[in-house]
Amino acid sequence: MRVLQSSRLLPGVLLRPFCALLLLLSGTPASRSDAELPCQILKRIGRTVRLGAVLLLPQQHPGAPPLSGPVRSGAARDALLRAVRRLNARAAELLPYNLSVELVMGMETGLGELPAFGVPPASRRDPQSFLESVCRTVVVQGVSALLAFPQSTGELLQLEFLSSTIQIPVVSIVGKQYPRQSKNPFHLQMSLETSHPTHADVLIFLLTMNRWYDVSLVLCKEWNVTNFLSLLYNNSKFHLGTIFNIASDSDDINFVNYLQEYLDTVKEAPLSIVTFGCGIEHFRKIFQLATNYGLMLPEHHWILGDSQNVEELRTEGLPMGLLAHGKTTEPVFQNYVQDAVELIARAVATATYVRPELALIPSTTNCMHWEEMNITSGQFLSRYLASTSFDGVSGYIKVTDPSVITSDSRYYIWSLQLDPVGKPMWTRLGRWHEGKIVMDHGIWPNKVQKPNSGGSHSTRLHLRVVTLIEHPFVFTRNVDADGHCPAGQLCLDALTNDTTIIESLFENLKSGNDSVPMEYKKCCYGYCIDLLEKLADDMSFDFDLYIVGDGKYGGWKNGRWTGLVGDLLSRAAHLAVTSFSINSARSKVIDFTSPFFSTSLGILVRTRDTTAPIGAFMWPLHWSMWVGIFVALHVTALFLTLYEWKSPFGMTPKGRNRKKVFSFSSALNVCYAILFGRTAAIKPPKCWTGRFLMNLWAIFCLFCLSTYTANLAAVMVGEKTYEELSGIHDPKLHHPSQGFRFATVRESSAEDYVKKSFPEMNEYMRRYDVPTTPDGVKYLKNDPQRLDAFIMDKALLDYEVSIDADCKLLTVGKPFAIEGYGIGLLQNSPLTSNISELISQYKSDGFMDMLHDKWYKVVPCGKRSFAVTETLQMGIKHFSGLFVLLCIGVAGSLLATAGEHIIYRLVLPRIKRKPRLKYWLHTSQRFHRALNTSFNDEQFQQKLNRLQKRCNVENNQQMVWNTASHAHWNRRKCIFKDIQQPEVNLKPCQVEDLPPVVKELPLTVNSNGKPEPLLKARHSVIHELTELEKQIQLIKQELQKAMNRKNELEEYQRTVRNPES
């Protein structure tokens, strides 16, 4: 709480810089956009509602006696500070948007250390000077309303003039109501005089509502019962019996005798006996004799006719079921001040929901400058002040006349009952409210408890409980064939909120002829049902359980409350037990016990298995890692080439004069082969430095590929996407893009929170809202999805996630709007405190923890292990990128082939004609050959190689001609002669030297770049080829002769052997 105490201002200066800013921001309603966001307004006002306070010091007029009573020096100030402090402690329940109340007190001279104003003395104070002083000190601060404490008619007239001039609501707290002629809607009076009902009105209404029309009176003292008797005579339904007056008989013997005579006359017929003016001694004698005569419940009802203070009323010697009426304690001055502050706060809160710019930004901050407006903030707020009512600490607060605030006293109906441990206690049955008795639920005069003694048995309290299906707090299943529940509690699901129908169904259920349809019967069980059973055992009550007809928690709709709240207000149910969130709107009309479960709001989304993109196989490594690998590969190949060409042992022309050369292309081939584990023929480097670098590159590739392989399955299998929401303030919720859908449950606490805190978001969301939590989860899991996000209590969402077998649900974002679940009852119910104490006891002894473990101990995602096994079977969609890459490689190879032909036919001839750029051996050996070898020489070399293959007769025979020397061709003729045998002549093979062919060859290069002589001219080559063909034909002829000779010898050998055998 912050308190501003205004100090003296310079004359003529009516605005501080802060107020000047407020003035600029306020403007007229027409000048601002109707769609101005509440958050922008809250930023302007600093999230505070300012209340002004004036006339805190009572005025002492000349000749007047000193003021006394509750309103004295300093009392108003202290009461205001205490009231604002208590209100800010409950600001979350009363005010929206996290607003708080700030007090601006206009203190006058004479209050010690507090600053003084330039206010004229009381002797020469007039309404105009009072207006100017208030404008300079309080109004300039930007207050929404004023609180005043006038002590005379003159001060009241000053407030009348002030409120009508500046058009700011003023609430005056006065000792007694001052009559006024004017109907000023800006000035309201709140009197410290509380209106009390007459005992006659209360008694007549109590007798009528219970249909106790036969009435008898007992007067222990002289008592004025004229009003009561006149009401009885004027109502034809009542029958007045004997009036027993024992006020004049003080003798105990006479008193007993007269009492016995009276009891003899009334014991025949059941009736209600009302006593007046009886003390505790009279009660003991009366009820002792009445018990002996049997004049007790249920046939006879005893009522204490005179008003009683039940806190002082004793219970000894009084019968169970005795009725009394009266109030508890008188309200004090501080209670009225607290109710006045709360009245303004409630009116501001209600007005803020309608037009926040008028409710929160004061229109009047400068009394010297007025703007023409259709409606000012004071006019707008005064309308809501006149229509606001609530149950305050001083009584029931309401505005009866447009300018009079009344406080009805807390007048209750009590009954003597037994508490859970069997002791007698005064229990409240109802209260007097707006001219009638409003009975609390659950306890009725005809449900009396008797102590367990002497064979009598106790009649347990019977309650009707409404619930709502919400897992895991309440589950339902069908009853068995006999209509019973083997486990859980029998509950009715009649799909109606009609009190008469619900009562008739339970009456039929209890009767012998059970006519309740089988489809109405359900078995209810769950977290809350276990809690309800525990409460019933500890508090000794029975209950009937049914499911709320409209399936809603409860909200204000079409001028009435729906759902659970509506059933409580209509007295269809006495308790509401489920996941019932405690919020400010519901707390205004019903009571809640202390929370038995704490939770918050959360956001539920669904994960989706997305189709693997083309580049999914590259996801195990970041793109920067891929770039780094290929950059390192080319740098390594470059250094391998440099080391090889600079080494004396390298595979280069300057090294060991090898036929092969290690070029940059060879280095790239080596590096790519090692990276991808390709088993292909490569030319490894020969120098030591190059080999060392190649092994380091192999180690680098080993770690990179092992990491890639390890992450490949996890990345490709676990690819799931979901709506990433940071919380309730996420831009996706406040500025939803096209097609983004989110919702909550209608008339739930989540909807109430969004409606109050984010009205624009609620306007967008309401079109997608769902009736129940299972519906919201279903819409999330549907294919196609009907919702993208679902906002609800996190306790319910966590359970839905835990039982989701497909593991598709996920809660995201930070929790928000901490709340609790409580048991709902009617306001001022006597059971509220008892149940709250038991809930606190259950929390301390671990019973609530046991319930949580029982209903929330579910294995999350039960099928997760099976799902992982299934998704490890990766299909073609996961590796579609590899197939695309292969296709791109084939297309690229075709382009490379075309490029080779272009280079060979267009680029190379141009380079050949130039004297420079012909040495490419360090880059590509093939490119170097192409530049330094003619096309005809290449054809000749190919033909020469074919001739060498054709001239090899067999692998183990010596070649016919030697090509070791490229300068000469040695040709030898092989001549076979008959071999000298006993009967067969064989010609030995004679090798004749062929005439040498001497040719001068042109200079060219060999495979490693050294010059070599070749044939000089093409015609000499053709001539030599002709000669070689002739020699080949000759050799073939000689070979044929040798084969024939061989066959002859083999035939001869077989012929010689046969005769010998």
Amino acid code (one letter) for 1029: E
Phi-psi category of residue 558: left, alpha or beta, with phi > 0 → left and psi -120 to 50 → alpha: left
The Cα–Cα gap between 727 and 722 comes to 14
CB 489 within 8 A of CB 545: yes
Q: Are the C-beta atoms of residues 776 and 601 closer than 8 Å to each other?
A: no
C-alpha span between 757 and 751 (Å, rounded): 10
Q: Which residue matches tokens 């042992």?
A: 649
Q: Which residues contact 736 (CB under 8 A, 6 or more apart)?
A: 742, 764
Token duo for residue 605: 């989304």
And the tokens for 839? Answer: 């809930």
Segments of 486-536 assigned E as strands: 489-492, 521-525
561's tokens = 């409350």
CB count in 10 Å sphere of residue 728: 21
Neighbours of 153 (CB within 10 A): 11
Instruction: Establish whether 793 is an annotated binding residue.
Output: yes
Q: Quick one: which of 299, 300, 310, 303 has its CA closest to 200?
A: 303
| CA 152 vs CA 60, 168, 178, 330, 707: distances in Å | 10, 21, 9, 24, 89
SS3 label, residue 602: strand
Q: Shortest CA distance to 716 belongs to which of 611, 625, 866?
A: 611
Q: Which two three-digit tokens encode residue 574?
A: 């006495």
* 3-state SS class at 485: coil
What is the C-alpha radius of gyration for the chain, rounded to an integer number of angstroms? Answer: 54
Question: What is the number of alpha carbons within 13 Å of residue 652 lying toward its C-beta?
Answer: 21
Rounded CA separation 339/344 (Å): 9
Q: Give the Cβ contact number of residue 704 at 10 Å.
A: 17
Neighbours of 796 (CB within 10 A): 24
* Number of residues in the chain: 1061
Q: Measured over all CA atoms, what is the biggest interatomic distance in the chain, rounded to whole angstroms? A: 184
Range list of H helices, 511-609: 527-539, 563-569, 584-587
Q: Is 586 assigned a ligand-binding role in the annotation?
A: yes
- What is the sign of the dihedral through the CA atoms of 260, 263, 265 and 267? negative
Q: Which long-range contacts (CB under 8 A, 24 or more apart) does 384-391 make?
A: 384/347, 384/348, 384/350, 384/351, 385/145, 385/169, 385/171, 385/188, 385/343, 385/344, 385/347, 386/185, 388/343, 388/346, 388/347, 388/350, 390/342, 390/343, 390/346, 390/588, 391/827, 391/828
Distance of CA 137 to the CA centre of its chain: 46
Q: Are 509 and 492 in contact (CB under 8 A)?
A: yes
Classify 195 as helix, strand or coil: strand
- The beta strands (E) that lie in 12-99 are given as 48-54
3-state SS assignment for residue 601: strand
SS3 735: coil
**Cα–Cα dist 509/511, whole Å:** 6
Give CA–CA dist 9/12, Å, rounded. 8
H or E segment at 973? strand 968-975
Binding residues for L-glutamate: 581, 586, 749, 793
